[in-house]
Amino acid sequence: MSKKILENLWQVGGSGLTDPADAAVYLVRFGDKAALIDAGCGNAHSRLKKHVTKCLSPNVQLEYLLLTHCHFDHTGGAEAVREDFGCRIVAHELDAVYLESGDSEVTAASWYGTRMPPLSVDIKLSGENSVLTIGDGTVNAIHWPGHSPGSVVYTTLIENKLVLFGQDVHGPIHPALLSDEEQYQSSLAKLLALNADLLLEGHFGILHTKEEVQEFIQSFMR
């Protein structure tokens, strides 16, 4: 069963919804188009597919799979999502290189006792900011390196609320992941300045108020 967060916004994957190893997976709809934010590790893809299909009416196309970063618990199921829904995979170019080469160390697939198969990325983001038009809405992609070189957060407005898809805001910072503590701290300050109304995190769930979002981000700042 998916969790409705706001109108046209759901959590469709993650622990308790799909596989225990999955980071959270979110679905957002803009008119006749939709986007999925991350794909889990792929072990429970059939369940994820069922949740997405139940949330979207038949006339709505899942146009994009927006990857927040390259780690396996977010990307292992990406190819299955593309095959089933015909969507395009989006990732920052600084993480896409590890997905396309099937690097099982930098993608942390080895942490899950498996390997990362090479994954082609359809749209490679570059620079600090990009804007994606999806149906009758827009999503902003913001590069925030630290946890991984090409980590990205996505923001959009729903019901006049600034929604922040900020997977793995908590880290971890680990040399095997090519993490960078200095970049991470700068990126946290960048997230704080967004002043988001909701934070949809990868492992800590949904923070529903501006105050909760600020406190959560600040708890990882030095």
pLDDT the model gives residue 129: 96
| Per-residue confidence band for 196, with pLDDT thresholds at 50, 70 and 90 | very high
pLDDT the model gives residue 65: 98
Architecture of the domain defined by 3-218:
4-Layer Sandwich (3.60)
Both tokens of 145, joined, read: 């390196």
pLDDT mean over 8-15: 96
pLDDT the model gives residue 111: 95
Burial of 202 by CB count in 10 Å (0-12 exposed, 13-18 middle, 19+ buried)?
buried
1 vs 2, more confident: 2
Give CA–CA dist 210/194, Å, rounded.
10
| Per-residue confidence band for 1, with pLDDT thresholds at 50, 70 and 90 | confident
Mean pLDDT taken over the chain: 97
Record the pTM: 0.97
Tens digits of residue pLDDT in 109-137: 999 999 999 999 999 999 999 999 999 99
Tens digits of residue pLDDT in 30-69: 999 999 999 999 999 999 999 999 999 999 999 999 999 9
Q: Print burial letters for 26-48: b (CB count within 10 Å at least 16), e (below 16).
A: bbbbbeebbbbbbbbbbbbbebb
Q: Nearest-CA neighbor of 211 among 220, 198, 194, 201? A: 198
The share of the chain scoring above pLDDT 70, in percent, equals 100
